[in-house]
Amino acid sequence: MSEETAPVHRFLTYRLARVQSKLNAQASKLLRAKAGLSLAQWRILSLIGGNPGTRATDLTRISTMDKGQFSRKLKTLVDDRLVVVSVDPQDHRILRLRLSDSGQVLYDRTLPHMRKRQADLKALLGPGEEEAFLGVLDKIEQTLERDLSRPADASG
């Protein structure tokens, strides 16, 4: 009964949303200051930096973005000469993505700050807490993946 009457703002999802919103604000502030990038731009830049030569489709799959969003953000990075696009010689539909020299410089300069941010977050957590936390996230995500492919009333 105490769970039944828990106030809405104590819901797991509310608290996740609050934390996520603050994490976003923090990362955005940091990226604007250090690299002049939006969070979405950094996501793409870092995905390319960590996986040079990968196809756009694969990066779309790894990130949460759909291909439309991805394409538009990618365009801003290409316009700023941070990313270089080349057509796959075998299959001309496929784009291979790499950082330009200046993109690489920006990536190399920014990544340590972002890693430090992750490390600072991890340092908050006790032994085993990170694994437990990620485990819960994975469980939830897997369930949601099944759920989101079904009609709205299937989950109550």
Partner DNA sequence: TATTGTTATACTCTATAACTATA
Partner DNA sequence: TATAGTTATAGAGTATAACAATA
Q: Which does 60 bind (CB under 5 to 8 A by kind): a second copy, DNA, none?
A: DNA
6's torsion region: left (phi>0), alpha (psi -120 to 50) or beta? Answer: beta
Return the residue of 7, 57, 83, 100 that touches a second copy, per CB under 8 A: 7
The answer to whether 152 contacts a second copy (rule: CB under 8 A) is yes
Binding mask 18-57 for a second copy (x = CB under 8 A): xxxxxxxxxx-xx-xxx--------x--xx-xxx------
Helix (H) or strand (E) holding 78: helix 67-79
The answer to whether 48 contacts DNA (rule: CB under 7 A) is no
- Total of chain residues touching DNA, rule CB under 7 A: 30
Closest C-alpha among 128, 48, 55 to residue 91: 55
Q: Which is nearer to DNA, 15 or 75 (CB)?
A: 75
* Cβ neighbours around 107 below 10 Å, total: 20
* Measured distance CA(156)–CA(145) in Å, rounded: 16
Residues 76 to 135 in contact with a second copy, rule: CB under 8 A: 111, 113-122, 124-125, 129-130, 132-135
Q: Which does 84 bind (CB under 5 to 8 A by kind): a second copy, DNA, none?
A: none
The answer to whether 66 contacts DNA (rule: CB under 7 A) is yes
The answer to whether 72 contacts DNA (rule: CB under 7 A) is yes
Closest C-alpha among 50, 122, 100, 40 to residue 73: 40
* Measured distance CA(141)–CA(112) in Å, rounded: 28
